[in-house]
Amino acid sequence: MNGVTAELVRGYASLFVHCWDYFAVQQRDGSYRPSYRPLSLSHLADHLMGKYTLGTFAVDREGYCSSAVLDVDHEDGLEGLVLLVRKLAGQGIFTLLEATRRGWHLWIFFDQPVMASHVRVWLLPYARMLGAELFPKQDMPRSGGVGSLVRLPLGIHRQTGGWYPFVVPGMDGQVVPVGETVPDCIAWCLGHVQRVRVPDVAGRLEQTREGQGRTGEAGARVVVPGEARGREMKGAIREWCRSQDIVEVIGRYTTLDRRGIGRCPLPGHHSRGDVRPSLQVFGGNDPHWYCYTWGRAGNVFDFLCLYHGLTVREAWERLREGVLL
């Protein structure tokens, strides 16, 4: 098995696989085809030996996950990631840094399955600070859906034909691979990875439910007008949208330049990532966003529904409770 032993496969699975009921197979163009059948250790062994490349789903049907990934999709994000690695290490939180085709993945492993909503409350501020995507991307998978897809590490990328190792930051801020082969990288992980306890966010969630809104990590307050609660939902949503600074709210999810242009973080229509920033956010008298790649526009509430994978009613209920990030 080219050094990929059954023991290494089992150890690899214990770290990187949470959902065993389904998986996805990467295609030549880098996209993924879902496979609605159980994942097996044999599949993982084939992945690690380069026969095909698999993706795994971060959140199960009950909304739990066992790890999180910060996906920095640009090479110049390394400096910020290294600073975050050191900051979290100072808090006793171990992270695992993986090179990718266009950037980096930062993995964090939990000591037990945790609700994705709690993980997102904890880690979204870091993701926004870095201009990164956070997996899990939703609190719950869509109805009948399978949640957030993450490429399983150490497989051969079907577009480039190469594989990408785990790395550790050096003293000079550069990174060094932890091993020269796939088995070396797995063995290093099994000897070094430490699982962490997700900080208790229940208090933060309860505090936001007691108020009419929540204070964002950047200091901005999302206010749900009290008088809107008894009105028809559609009118209340329209009133809430008028009360928001759309550039500030969407700017928490992606970095916008002075023209309001940034990489589109909305899931489902950028199969290879938004390489060329295609989202523009407009303020003024007609606040809205527009994705030039997708050809779709909407208001700030539409954006939140699409980003979190929620129906209008689900998003409005969470907004009223102050827990829609």
The per-residue pLDDT for range 284-323, each reduced to its tens digit, is: 888 999 998 888 899 999 999 888 888 888 888 877 766 6
> Do the domains 208-321 and 6-192 match in fold?
no
Q: How far is CA 189 from the centre of its chain?
A: 21
The per-residue pLDDT for range 240-261, each reduced to its tens digit, is: 898 889 998 898 888 899 899 9
pLDDT top residue among 49 and 219: 49
Each domain of the chain, given as residue ranges in start order, spans: 6-192, 208-321
Query: Domain 6-192 is in which class?
Result: alpha beta
CATH code: domain 208-321 is 3.90.580.10
* Structure-token match 């997102």, residue found: 120
The per-residue pLDDT for range 186-243, each reduced to its tens digit, is: 999 999 999 999 887 644 544 444 443 333 333 333 444 444 344 567 888 888 898 8
Q: How far is CA 153 from the centre of its chain?
A: 15
The per-residue pLDDT for range 151-163, each reduced to its tens digit, is: 999 999 988 899 9
CA distance 157 to 26: 8
Distances (CA, A) of 208 to 199, 205, 242: 17, 5, 21
pLDDT above 70 covers a percentage of the chain that reads: 83
Mention every residue, 6+ apart, whose C-beta is less than 8 A from residue 239: 225, 228, 231
